[in-house]
Structure 1
Amino acid sequence: MTPSSEVPTTAIDRERSGFAPAPDLTAVRRGEGIVRVPTPFGPPAWLLTRHEDVRRMLGDAETFRNGWSTEDLAGGATRDPRQLSGERSGNLLSMDPPEHNRLRRMLTREFTARRVRRLEPRVAEIVEDHLGAMQRQGPPADLVAQYALPIPSLVICELLGVPTADQGEFQERTRRQLDTTVGEQENVALGREMLAYMTGLVEQARRRPGEDLIGVLVREHGSELTDAEIIGIANLLLVAGHETTSNMLGLGALALLRHPDQLAIVRDEPEQVPAAVEELMRWLSVVGGGSPRMVARDVEFGGVAMRRGDLVVVDLPAANRDPGLVEDPERLDVTRAQSPHVGFGHGIHHCLGAPLARAEMRIAFPALLRRFPDLRIAVPFEEVVFARTKAIHGLEELPVTW
């Protein structure tokens, strides 16, 4: 293909089509696979849609860098899309080795399978509390507001030591930060508010470290980490740790309700639940693309000449429905053998909290379906409102009855 400087950009509609990837993205994957697209933050970017290409790019941290600045880009940029708050320090999404590895090593032990298993009884308590509240209130209920949203929020807030009294305000702030219709000025203000809040949590932990993640970081690595790094780590985990899982719980419940045979397997066959979680992650792919990477050196990729300073983005939903990944990828099959999907990303930036997210889904899906065996959507499917203005795919609400 022609060099990047000579390739015109292609307008791509990345809005999802219900559970499926955007039709434009599916067409790209079936056709060229890699196209040049405009971005809202300045220069255009190469867009990857095929599973093999996406995994290769995400797995090559030397050629495709996260730790770029706007000055590094060919063509410049008006803003940095990776900045989830006013503080970039500690934000693993905008870092490369060796700094990335240094911070990730400190965090990895907090998200090991063994540590997550210790959290599972508390996750189960939170799930049962919300199911009990729904049952006492009686139908109808909004499964998003009453179940899917609060459970991951409470889990991650407890993990990080966010007081219960602050959780409602935090949830609303993060919702606004991930709303793509929010203007630049408000987005900056929200980032500053979050930064100020997290600063207070870290200052409190410096004085009296608890058993939460921030307290552990202060107690075990306090001399190695600056306050700014701890703030950045905590802020990233707060935003990423509750919005993604909550959207998976809401969207996943809807997907199962639309596929009663698959729902019955998740409800009645506990041994199939881990595979069901992986299949839902593949089929739904709530995270669209992750952070843009910058090409660090000229490279030919899939027949495309990419130049140093170019940006590269991926579409995970299109990649996860690639026939090169699984047979009949459009079909939801919770008994499918686990595939190397990219729902949690891949490579050194593979989702740090994936073990916790998996545990929450393994507990929350079957518990919901067992508590309410007659659960059903309370409105016609066509009236279910998908969230179209959020960075993470999900539902605005899900009215259910039983």
Structure 2
Amino acid sequence: MTDAVAFPQDRTCPYRPAPGYRPLAEQRPLSRITLYDGREAWAVTGYALTRLLLADPRISSDHTNPAWPVANAAAAAAREFGADQKKVISLLTALVGVDDPEHRVRRELAEACFTPGLVDALRPKIREVADRHLDAMVSRGAPADLVQAFASPVALVALYETLGIPREDQEYFKQKTQQLFGPQARAIHEELVTYLAELIGKRPQQPGESLLGALVTLVAERGTPADAVPAEILQMLLIMLVSGHHTTSSSIAIGASALLHHPERLAGLRADPSLVPAAVDELTRLVSVTDGVQRVAAEDIEVAGTTIAKGDGVFFVLSLINRDPEHYARPEDLDWDRPAPDDHVGYGFGPHRCVGVDLARAIMEIAFRTLLERLPGLRLAVAADEIPVQPGESFQGLVELPVAW
């Protein structure tokens, strides 16, 4: 084994692994890492081992486990929050932070809403959101920050529109959800519950017009008492908003950066827009914005010639997993013609694979199509090495992406 590598580390290129992860890549598929507080954990970096472990019930997603690994001081500080804030956190991790059978029950509700038919029906709404924000960006003139002017608001507003939050209420909803971690967490939670109850009451949601409508119908079919419906729906909405917005907006921003760094691949997409769905998956693989998926071993696990002991933290380093040369030919290349473009683990794998993957793909496809069609001269407004990357942690993003057209 190599010496334990510090984890997480900052990227220097938006869409490439942190340079300090090279020893982890060389040590595939399993290595020791050192977290911010000196605790050691495991880094999984091999594709085959990732699929094996993420499907193993002994690899736990239970955030309440005292042995749950934390990657940074901010995450550790959350453990000292008051009761109200902890309640909100428990709501936001009610799907991703529990194991079966509790997880399975909640996931079935979410999966039943994200049908391909509903997502396809929502595409015109998403396109309208993308066009509206691009209109505003263009009207203000170049250069522009593609993160703040397009990627972030398109991902967020597209979620609001597809969830069924009226446009006139979206700014209110945004402000309130941003306060859910603050000292007024309980009051904000209760206010949002009341808001959703009133929304459902004054504007009946049809199953085919929004995800909120689909959730309302499903909860009602399960016989949930009427006064319990808003709380259950709020829980699912918050999970989708918190987990979906940042990952999707960062994927759009860093994906656009990768395209602008590869003008020949960008030209290929402009010449053949039918390649956009495959390009979205390929960009998701290469970008790997959620770069340190966390788990804890619930039992001893004998694997890869060693033992992951009960209580050991396990991090799945997606930027390395999605570049495993034993699985991918030319893993550093952007290739729209890979034989199975959707076999990456950018959305996870196993029971906890992203439940909103079809919606995320739809938002990204529409965002990239809009940019390709309407801004044929899109280019970086600064030198590539001047693009500021957010400090690493285990979630990747851009501070800004200056562009011109």
TM-score interval (norm. to shorter): 0.7 to 0.9
Give the alignment partner of residue 219 of structure 2, picking from 210, 218, 221. Answer: 221
Cα distance in 1 between the residues matched to 2:62 and 2:7: 26
Deviation at 1:104, TM superposition (A): 1.3
Alignment match, 1:4: none
Give 5+ residue unaligned stretches, structure 1: 2-6, 178-186
Aligned to 1:286, the other structure's residue is in SS state: coil
Deviation at 1:261, TM superposition (A): 1.0
Q: For 1:237-316, what aligned pairs fall within 5 Å after superposition?
A: 237-290=240-293, 292-316=294-318
Aligned to 1:394, the other structure's residue is in SS state: coil
Q: Are positions 1:20 and 2:12 aligned together?
A: no
Aligned to 2:193, the other structure's residue is in SS state: helix
Alignment match, 1:47: 43
Give the alignment partner of residue 325 of structure 1, picking from 324, 327, 331. Answer: 327
Cα distance in 1 between the residues matched to 2:316 and 2:157: 31
Alignment match, 1:125: 128
TM normalised by structure 1 equals 0.84
Answer whether contact 2:61 2:98 (CA < 8 A) is retained.
Answer: yes
Answer whether contact 1:205 1:214 (CA < 8 A) is retained.
Answer: no
Answer whether contact 2:69 2:295 (CA < 8 A) is retained.
Answer: no
Answer whether contact 1:325 1:341 (CA < 8 A) is retained.
Answer: no
Deviation at 1:10, TM superposition (A): 4.4
Aligned to 1:36, the other structure's residue is in SS state: strand
Structure 1's 12 and 132: CA in aligned 2 closer, same or farther, altered over 3 A? closer
Give the alignment partner of residue 351 of structure 2, picking from 348, 351, 371. Answer: 348
Deviation at 1:335, TM superposition (A): 2.8
Query: What is the root-mean-square deviation of aligned Cα atoms in Å?
Result: 3.2
Give 5+ residue unaligned stretches, structure 2: 71-75
Give the alignment partner of residue 386 of structure 1, picking from 389, 392, 396. Answer: 389
Cα distance in 2 between the residues matched to 1:199 and 1:8: 49
Structure 1's 32 and 280: CA in aligned 2 closer, same or farther, altered over 3 A? closer
- One-letter amino acid of the counterpart of residue 385, structure 1: P
Deviation at 1:113, TM superposition (A): 1.6
Cα distance in 1 between the residues matched to 2:145 and 2:339: 32
Give the alignment partner of residue 334 of structure 1, picking from 330, 333, 336. Answer: 336
Alignment match, 1:144: 147
Deviations 1:192-243 (A, max 9, x none): 6764554344433564553443454344315448555433322111111211
Structure 1's 392 and 72: CA in aligned 2 closer, same or farther, altered over 3 A? closer
Cα distance in 2 between the residues matched to 1:325 and 1:191: 45
Single out whichever of 162-171 and 135-144 deviates more from structure 2: 162-171
Cα distance in 2 between the residues matched to 1:196 and 1:166: 17
Aligned to 1:365, the other structure's residue is in SS state: helix
Cα distance in 2 between the residues matched to 1:158 and 1:240: 16
Deviation at 1:74, TM superposition (A): 10
Alignment match, 1:204: 198
Single out whichever of 386-395 and 373-382 deviates more from structure 2: 386-395
Deviation at 1:254, TM superposition (A): 1.5
Answer whether contact 1:275 1:337 (CA < 8 A) is retained.
Answer: no
Deviation at 1:117, TM superposition (A): 0.5
Identity %: 35
Cα distance in 1 between the residues matched to 2:148 and 2:259: 18
Give the alignment partner of residue 379 of structure 2, picking from 368, 376, 379. Answer: 376
Alignment match, 1:34: 30
Answer whether contact 1:287 1:316 (CA < 8 A) is retained.
Answer: yes
Structure 1's 388 and 78: CA in aligned 2 closer, same or farther, altered over 3 A? closer
Corresponding pairs, count: 384
Answer whether contact 1:298 1:307 (CA < 8 A) is retained.
Answer: yes
Deviations 1:268-323 (A, max 9, x none): 21221111111101111111123x22212211121121222222111111111111
Structure 1's 39 and 91: CA in aligned 2 closer, same or farther, altered over 3 A? farther
Cα distance in 2 between the residues matched to 1:53 and 1:329: 17
Answer whether contact 2:67 2:312 (CA < 8 A) is retained.
Answer: no
Deviations 1:16-38 (A, max 9, x none): 23121112223212125423334
Give the alignment partner of residue 69 of structure 1, picking from 60, 64, 70. Answer: 64
Structure 1's 370 and 206: CA in aligned 2 closer, same or farther, altered over 3 A? closer
- One-letter amino acid of the counterpart of residue 311, structure 2: G
Cα distance in 2 between the residues matched to 1:104 and 1:53: 24
Single out whichever of 108-117 and 159-168 deviates more from structure 2: 159-168
Deviation at 1:385, TM superposition (A): 1.5
Cα distance in 2 between the residues matched to 1:121 and 1:74: 41
- One-letter amino acid of the counterpart of residue 29, structure 1: A
Aligned to 1:69, the other structure's residue is in SS state: coil
Structure 1's 174 and 266: CA in aligned 2 closer, same or farther, altered over 3 A? farther
- One-letter amino acid of the counterpart of residue 311, structure 1: G
Cα distance in 1 between the residues matched to 2:109 and 2:314: 29
